[in-house]
Amino acid sequence: MKTAEDKPAGALAIFGVGMIGGSLALALRKANACDRIIGYGRSPASLQRALELGVIDEFRTDAASAAADADVVVLASPLATTEPLLRQIRDALGEQAIITDVGSAKGCIVAAAHRALNPGQLRNLVPGHPIAGKEKSGVDHANPDLFVDHLTILTPVPETDPGQLRRVRQLWEVVGARVVEMDVDTHDAVLAATSHLPHMLAYALVDCLARMQESAEIFKYAAGGFADFTRIASSNPEMWHDICLANRDNLIVMLDRFRGRLEEIRAAILHNDGPLLLEIFTRAKQARDDFIDRFPGRNYGPE
């Protein structure tokens, strides 16, 4: 006999049924962890597609109406849509309705919630970030196994109710994720280093090569290292536009740190300083090899 505890998500409303939102829907469905999934989004065609694919049970084109019937609202649309959406659903949300999200930056979500929600609703706020994904966008790329063995980071605010936090944790655990909690600022600083900075480097590299006169010739001779290195430059531009601006301060700090390291390498090359180059490369190789050795069981699918 199923108890309420078996379906931690109850009725779920997913705002933004793209690759991540769609994957979460499929994964929860596969785990039999929710009763009903309501989709909301900007594009009726995309919602219709999600319905046809069996990702959602129904869709709404009115945000408040989607939220009104939900036990859990998951924001999976671009970060910049957070505040307007929260304003639209604020008065429709049930007293116990959880508000969670999958955004790659968390400070901006918390700030938007403070501005847009009633203070009493902050107890239902559980910001989250699954460290999983791929460079493909859209519900057609949704995958029920996307989160298996990947980390999901939850960043509760001081007001977050421990019971609501537990329910969101359970929701991610049933889809196979390993859940960790950290504070919002730590999350944004860590992700600026491990994800947001590398994306900027990949975009800058591809843009640099694409703008060279000989770019056709150059791309012709690029090999696997280049394909790997630039995979993340195929990510969704709108999403990354939002992430950059949302996590601006941390990202600028990391860009400046990176610039310092690259300048050191440039100067060593320019001045034929072989010992310094060898020292830098050896230290970096060691750090990277250690990183791979330390987390051998990790699913290194794209984030």
Considering only residues 149-208, where is the footprint of a copy of itself by CB under 8 A? 150-151, 153, 186, 189-191, 193-195, 197-208
Distance separating alpha carbons of residues 143 and 163, to the nearest angstrom: 29
In this chain, which of 119, 158, 224, 297 binds a copy of itself, going by CB under 8 A? Answer: 224
Does 270 sit near a copy of itself (CB under 8 A)? yes
In this chain, which of 2, 3, 223, 297 binds a copy of itself, going by CB under 8 A? Answer: 223
Does 265 sit near a copy of itself (CB under 8 A)? yes
Distance separating alpha carbons of residues 141 and 133, to the nearest angstrom: 10
Q: Could you tell me the maximum CA-CA distance found in the chain, to the nearest angstrom?
A: 73
Restricting to residues 19-58, which ones interact with a copy of itself according to CB under 8 A?
Answer: none
Do 247 and 108 form a contact (C-beta atoms < 8 A)? yes
- In the bound state with a copy of itself, the residue whose beta carbon lies nearer, of 74 and 246, is 246
- In the bound state with a copy of itself, the residue whose beta carbon lies nearer, of 2 and 294, is 294
Q: What is the DSSP string of 145-186?
A: TTTTT-EEEE---TT--HHHHHHHHHHHHHTTPEEEE--HHH
CB of 64: closest distance to a copy of itself in angstroms? 27
Does 143 sit near a copy of itself (CB under 8 A)? no
Eight-class DSSP state of 269:
H
In this chain, which of 119, 158, 162, 260 binds a copy of itself, going by CB under 8 A? Answer: 260
CB of 112: closest distance to a copy of itself in angstroms? 16
Does 106 sit near a copy of itself (CB under 8 A)? no
Reported as type and span, the H/E element at residue 88 is: helix 82-89
Distance separating alpha carbons of residues 66 and 55, to the nearest angstrom: 16
Distance separating alpha carbons of residues 30 and 33, to the nearest angstrom: 8
Range in contact with a copy of itself (rule: CB under 8 A) among 45-53, 82-90, 166-174, 291-299: 291-299
- In the bound state with a copy of itself, the residue whose beta carbon lies nearer, of 4 and 223, is 223
Do 108 and 80 form a contact (C-beta atoms < 8 A)? no
Does 229 sit near a copy of itself (CB under 8 A)? yes
Does 84 sit near a copy of itself (CB under 8 A)? no
